[in-house]
Amino acid sequence: MAVFSRCSRAATAVKSPNAAAVAAFSHVIRPLFHSFSSSTLDPETDLNRNKPAGLGTLKREPKGRNVQWVFLGCPGVGKGTYASRLSNLVGVPHIATGDLVRDELASSGSLSSQLKEIVNQGKLVSDEIIIDLLSKRLEKGEAKGESGFILDGFPRTVRQAEILEGVTDIDLVINLKLREEALLAKCLGRRICSECGGNYNLASIDIKAENGRPGMHMSSLPPPPECASKLITRPDDTEEVVKNRLRIYQSTTRPVEDFYRSRGKLLEFDLPGGISESWLKLLHALNLEDHGNKQSAAA
């Protein structure tokens, strides 16, 4: 569709997230979201801070109604892991802007050199670049007949949240939280198989309870034997870069939590440990069950 190419170029050309960027993004994604007919949540749902409650039954119409969710959380908290699992469970695409950025880097496309410098320094990618990449991904999804979504990595700024709010309704924003020492260890332990692209984590985290805070154990996620010799570390997973990303998150993305909290759409979920300790509790907080895979919590 020609309109997508024109709007993507327009969004990329804008130097700051002003009215032109908003208009470009709106023209790109409004036709897509028009057919997505969002799910509705029980209006009596309790989304109080630090008290993830059951969300009531997710009401889904028989035709064309799929959830429209957003995942928030510090870098390395596990947004991609849990968003991907929920994506499979509720049958909507998981769209991770981090993956879009990495795909663009690997493609040697027009943005790759600019992105490489930004990512390696742990900086946030600009609104214009993210909007351009997300617009292209949504266009491909529309062509395949996708409906609904779970966004991971967007919005990261209040401005992005305002743009998104202007073109579609978000049903729920799930904010994953994890202690900073565990976050740092997880980021430094991440590995990727250079051949199959599989994600693994070599960090085994064992934090003792102290000063009234509960202990935490997170097992490593080792690769299968065929990938063990092919592991690589992401260039941005160094201690200096990770700490910088956390600082940027605190100053830039924390306000996004307040944005959605004020609208009654924020579910704050403190991860009690690794996947085996957290997955079923997250499903309980969302009032969902994983009937199709009883072993998923331990995977």
Task: Label the pairing between strands 266-270 and 172-177.
Answer: parallel
Tens-digit pLDDT profile for residues 78-101? 898 899 999 999 999 999 988 888
Range in 34-48, 99-113, 123-137, 263-277 the model is least confident about: 34-48
Question: Which residue did the predictor score with more confidence, 16 or 146?
Answer: 146
- Would the pLDDT of 225 be above 90? yes
- Would the pLDDT of 54 be above 50? no
C-alpha torsion angle, residues 41, 43, 44, 49 (rounded to 10)? 70
| Structure confidence at residue 153 (pLDDT) | 86
| Structure confidence at residue 295 (pLDDT) | 41
Average pLDDT, stretch 116-145? Answer: 83
Backbone angles phi, psi at 265, to 5 degrees: -115, 5
DSSP single-letter state for residue 223: P
| Structure confidence at residue 135 (pLDDT) | 82
Give the number of C-alpha atoms closer than 13 A to the C-alpha of residue 64, restricted to the C-beta side.
7
Average pLDDT, stretch 58-80? Answer: 73
* Residue 101 contacts residue 119 (beta carbons within 8 Å): yes
Average pLDDT, stretch 176-193? Answer: 91
- Would the pLDDT of 6 be above 60? no
Q: Which residues are catalytic?
A: 79, 156, 190, 234, 245
Average pLDDT, the chain: 77
Average pLDDT, stretch 150-174? Answer: 91
| Structure confidence at residue 290 (pLDDT) | 79
Map out the domains of the chain with their CATH numbers: 68-286 (3.40.50.300)
| Structure confidence at residue 114 (pLDDT) | 83
| Structure confidence at residue 27 (pLDDT) | 53
**DSSP output for 110-129:** TTHHHHHHHHHTTPPPPHHH
Secondary structure string (H, E, C) spanning 52-110: CCCCCCCECCCCCCCCEEEEEECCCCCHHHHHHHHHHHHCCCEEEHHHHHHHHHHHCCC
